[in-house]
Amino acid sequence: MVISPINEAPDGAEARSATRDGPDCDLTVTQDLPTRNSTGDARPPSHVLVTGGAGYIGSHMALALLEREPSTRVTVVDNLLRGHRGAIDALVKVGGARLRFEQIDLLDTARLTAALVADPPDAVLHFAALTSVPESVEKPLDYFRTNLGGGLSLLEAMRAAGVSRLVFSSTAATYGEPAPESMPITESTPQRPINPYGLAKLQFEDVLRAQCAAPRQPKPLAAVALRYFNVAGADALCRVGEDHRPETHLVPIALEVALGKRPHLTIFGDDYPTRDGTCIRDYVHVSDLVDAHLAALGALEPGAFRAWNIGIGRGHSVREVVESVRRVTGHAIPTVMGTRRAGDPAALFADPSAIARDLGWTARFTTLDAMVESAWRWMQANPQGYR
């Protein structure tokens, strides 16, 4: 299924005037252009395929590609199981005819191959995945089928179309539960996932590593995996944002309490070996994560697999996130204590020094309040999400 572009806009400025904006959405905000990285060129390729581009992170990625280089074309492939047609509509308002949407499940290798052969992209940014750790424990088969099988199908289609450049949106869940003395996590930290979500992502990394090293390839695969932790925030102009159904992420759940959509927030466990007994995670703003993927595009090397951690280099506990939401929104955010969820490590936070050294990437949003404020603007402007 191909969605034809509507409300074509030749550039980002005209597109902004056509987007919806709520009372708390600051249309005077302009997003920074990416800086040139120490390796490669910050300018994206002329045609990029974004899998999962109707989802949270993928839609922000597609938006950045369309906005930062007026000549770039973007093809989004998404089955809309967890993604939103509303996100596609928002992208079309920015990119016009430069945005093409194909509603295809990655497991449908024949249709996916046909789409890539008909219009081969210069590179692929692979976000499409199931992403809930607790759900992966309950439904491991779904996660291996989608996150590993979908990736294998994508590689088959890329090979048939002669496409050999891939940036994979991986996860810090591949590291499992490192010992406290191993914090912060570096790229050399052993990868020992403790849930099916992390394991399926690691297995696809292994596939990429092997395929990159395979001899006698006409076009050797060039692949990068970016391992990141928790993502928060939204587009500064509120054109796309976070809208999971059901919502399982901490920041938007807390914000739904502030909006009155939930009576309270459940904290899953306060007996972890952390400073306040609750889980600790490294949060990164979605716009910073997008910048990291753009930097990785410029670092792809034929026959090489590389991986970097993405984060701000320190973790925030669940209680600290709740306090941040209270400060930003002015709401009390009632909490109740629940039991631990299966598969949740106590603490995960990154050492991002390698990508800073190699690609010149560092996070611009380094405070939790700034990330929460960005997400709060989106939710106030779009209290029902993309509905």
**What is the per-residue pLDDT across 250-263, written as a single tens digit (0 to 9) for each?**
999 999 999 999 99
Average pLDDT of the residues in 25-52: 59
pLDDT at residue 26 in the model: 56
Q: Which one from 56, 143, 197, 386 is the annotated catalytic residue?
A: 197
pLDDT tens sequence across 92-109? 999 999 999 999 999 999
Q: Which two tokens stand for residue 112?
A: 């996916």
Q: How confident is the model at residue 31 (pLDDT cuts 50, 70, 90)?
A: very low
Please give the DSSP secondary-structure letter assigned to residue 148.
I
Q: Which two tokens stand for residue 371?
A: 């990330």
pLDDT tens sequence across 102-156? 999 999 999 999 999 999 999 999 999 999 998 999 999 999 999 999 999 999 9
Q: What is the pTM of this model?
A: 0.89
Q: How far are the Cα atoms of 268, 322, 368 from residue 273, in angstroms, in the given order?
A: 14, 19, 22
pLDDT(243) > 50: yes
pLDDT(322) > 50: yes
Q: How confident is the model at residue 25 (pLDDT cuts 50, 70, 90)?
A: low
Q: Output the average pLDDT for the chain.
A: 89
Q: 12, 67 in Cβ contact below 8 A?
A: yes
Residue ranges of the domains in the chain?
2-235+284-311+350-359
Average pLDDT of the residues in 190-212: 97
pLDDT(37) > 70: no
- What is the CATH code for 2-235+284-311+350-359? 3.40.50.720
pLDDT tens sequence across 152-176? 999 999 999 999 999 999 999 999 9
Q: How far are the Cα atoms of 94, 129, 187, 386 from residue 89, in angstroms, in the given order?
A: 9, 21, 37, 10
DSSP characters over 241-305: ----SS---HHHHHHHHHTTSSS-EEEE-S-SSSSSSS-EE-EEEHHHHHHHHHHHHTT--TT-E
Please give the DSSP secondary-structure letter assigned to residue 124.
E
197 catalytic? Reply is yes
User: Greatest CA span in the chain, whole angstroms?
Assistant: 61
